[in-house]
Amino acid sequence: MLDEHLVRLLNARAACALEVGRLKRELNVPIYQPDREAEVLKNVQDWNTGPLDQAAIKRLFERIIDEARHLERIADEVELKQRPTSDE
């Protein structure tokens, strides 16, 4: 039951990442934003009360962020392929 809840939350977060990626494309903002990622990592470590230690939380969220960035890049590539070319 808990694992199912985690999967649902991770997928909800991924859906948000796709929307953020779409907005980044519209605003011509780079996908990789190290300052924002550092802020997220700091926040999750601040919220952590254990029993996972700070390093474990950081590793878990680094992976989650990496997967979200991967989704944003895939969505970006798909959109580029779907755009009409000047030849059309």
Task: Give pLDDT tens digits for 46-73.
Answer: 999 999 999 999 999 999 999 999 998 8
Task: Give pLDDT tens digits for 6-22.
Answer: 999 999 999 998 888 88
* Token code pair at residue 1: 């039951």
Between CA 38 and CA 19 the distance in angstroms is 20
Please state whether 48 falls in left (phi above 0), alpha (psi between -120 and 50) or beta.
beta
Q: For the beta carbon of residue 45, count every other beta carbon within 10 angstroms.
A: 14
Question: Which residues are CB-neighbours of 61 under 8 A, at least 6 positions away?
Answer: 40, 41, 44
This prediction has a pTM of: 0.79
Q: Which residue has the higher pLDDT, 50 or 77?
A: 50
